Structure 1
Amino acid sequence: MQDCQILITRPEPENSLSCERVRTHGWVAVPLPMLEISPIEEANKKAAIRAQVFDIDTFDYVIFVSKNAARLACDWLDDCWPMLPASVHWIGIGQGTTQTLLDEGVPALSNPGHTTEALLDWLKPARMKDQKILIVRGEGGRPELGNKLEERGAKISYLSLYERKKPQYSAQTFFMLPDINLIWATSGESLLNLSEYVSKNKLGWKALPIMTPSIRVNQQAKEMGWINASCANGADDNSLIKATELHTGKQND
């Protein structure tokens, strides 16, 4: 399956970067983002964001839940903090998010795993008591991380920097796509949006191999009727490429 055609569902700008990586492996990348990331633009919300960023040195930990959260936060940090406060522990969930921070000069650490659940295992309960933690995310993100940390005695605040929207595609969009051999679904929300479109326009895709980033999302895929879902153990390109290589290798055996 050297000419494997892979549907990439990441939001932009990450989608284009993933497509480049896929092409370097000799595969065909077919971009179809299943999330749109829109930075917060309302004046009152931007003023509130600025105030929170100026107060970021009052937190013990700042946790970034995605590459988009990291990328947008770095723009705000550049604007508000010419030198980053040394007292803050910066943490990215997953290698891709952490690398985004490191590339922007933020000395971030990453938990050994790739998920919220892995991060919670890594952050020892005794260490979290009375710690002030800021979670940087999109509006309406999953509450599990904050809830679990509060159970451990931490004091949680949120910094929401973007909105996530479902892209609008017509039936014609799906009709014009080339044949797809494999799909990358990199979050639960993108999987949900993809499943809704597939149920209306490409029901046969439910039998295709689909790579998911975590056990949680893989289980969601199976519950949505994807009969060939595999867990890549990470949403980053390296994890998904490795899982794809394993799959295509088995197909070629």
Structure 2
Amino acid sequence: MSPRSLLGLGILVTRPEGQADPFCRLITEEGGTAFRFPVLEIGPPADPAPLERLIADLDRFDLVIFVSINAVEWGVEAVRRRRRFPPELQRAVIGPTTARALAERHLAPHLMPAPPYNSESLLALPEMHEVAGKRIVIFRGEGGREHIAETLRSRGAEVDYAEAYRRIRPNHDPAPLLRAWREGEIQVATATSNEALLNLVEMVGEEGRRYLLETPLVVISERNAALARELGFTFEPIVAQEAGDDAMVAAIAEGVRRQWTIR
């Protein structure tokens, strides 16, 4: 990435409060301006009892999969409040951001796919094809995607969920964001999940949707890009290699280099 690769760009950052600071700092370092508008809040499960029961029984599993950095942050904390994390339990992650979060907690992952970092790449690993009879637990938020569990069950694994957190749509006033759009201060929007993208569309209101759909968008998966197309975004979304801050900034810079292809 060249120095100041985002010079003059206003970038809409939709990460949750408390998780946006590193991304915003990197945008600023690269010459851009970050506009914060969190579209998700992360909180504890509505009912913690199922998670507590699963944690108490964690020794019976052969493999744990962490699907996001939130799964690591909330899941590992929940385990350690109650017990020691089983050292023999194999650990898998979707990509490097989640891997770093685990390593920061002294739990280096055993399995991580090659790019692109997504569920399909994880499931393509040889180890994920040899799961017949194995017991697997997936740490995730409430109501997450079913694809990993369904695929592993079809391969003969027993799969349970450890729903360690829930995502909540916040109630933020969109007026400052709309003002920035009217004044031409926002050139790029970002979203790191389908839920975040749907929340963003809903939260900005009718006037904001007109601006949003005409704003180039960076996402982290082809699923996100497909949803953006369905929603009517004018520009072809740029898909970052993973959800990490460096990858998002690199994707924005790539969009600038390509001059954002009109769909």
Give yes or no for TM over 0.5. yes
Find the aligned partners of 2:88 and 2:28 in 1 and give their Cα distance: 42
Q: Give the letter aligned to residue 87 of structure 2.
A: A
Give the equivalent residue in structure 1 for 2:257. 249
**1:99 Cα shift?**
1.0
Residue deviations 1:74-108, cap 9 Å, x none?
212322334x3232111122211111111111121
More helix by share: 1
Give the equivalent residue in structure 2 for 1:225. 232
Match of 1:169 among 164, 168, 172: 172
**1:250 Cα shift?**
4.2
Unaligned stretches of 5+ residues in structure 2: 1-5
Residue deviations 1:209-234, cap 9 Å, x none?
10010111111111111121111132
Q: Give the letter aligned to residue 121 of structure 1.
A: A
Report the RMSD for the aligned CA atoms in angstroms: 2.0
Residue deviations 1:147-187, cap 9 Å, x none?
11111111010111111111223352433446211011111
Equivalent pairs counted in the alignment come to: 248
Instruction: Please say if 1:185 is aligned against 2:191.
Output: yes
Give the equivalent residue in structure 2 for 1:67. 69
C-alpha contact 1:174 1:201 (8 A) present in aligned 2: no
Q: Give runs of aligned pairs for residues 94-243 of structure 1, distance below 5 A.
A: 94-108=95-109, 109-112=111-114, 113-124=116-127, 126-177=129-180, 179-198=185-204, 200-202=206-208, 203-228=210-235, 229-243=237-251
**1:121 Cα shift?**
1.4
Give the equivalent residue in structure 2 for 1:18. 23
Q: Secondary structure at the match of 1:110?
A: coil
Q: Secondary structure at the match of 1:30?
A: strand
**1:199 Cα shift?**
5.5
Structure 1 pair 175–244 and aligned structure 2 pair: CA distance change class (3 A): closer
Moved more, 163-172 or 222-231: 163-172
C-alpha contact 1:215 1:233 (8 A) present in aligned 2: no
Instruction: Please say if 1:92 is aligned against 2:93.
Output: yes
Moved more, 194-203 or 28-37: 194-203
C-alpha contact 1:171 1:201 (8 A) present in aligned 2: no
TM-score w.r.t. length of structure 2: 0.87
Find the aligned partners of 2:56 and 2:75 in 1 and give their Cα distance: 12
Unaligned stretches of 5+ residues in structure 1: none
Find the aligned partners of 2:160 and 2:176 in 1 and give their Cα distance: 40
Q: Give the letter aligned to residue 245 of structure 1.
A: A
**1:126 Cα shift?**
3.9
TM-score w.r.t. length of structure 1: 0.90
Instruction: Please say if 1:6 is aligned against 2:11.
Output: yes
**1:10 Cα shift?**
1.3
Instruction: Please say if 1:39 is aligned against 2:44.
Output: yes
C-alpha contact 2:78 2:164 (8 A) present in aligned 1: no
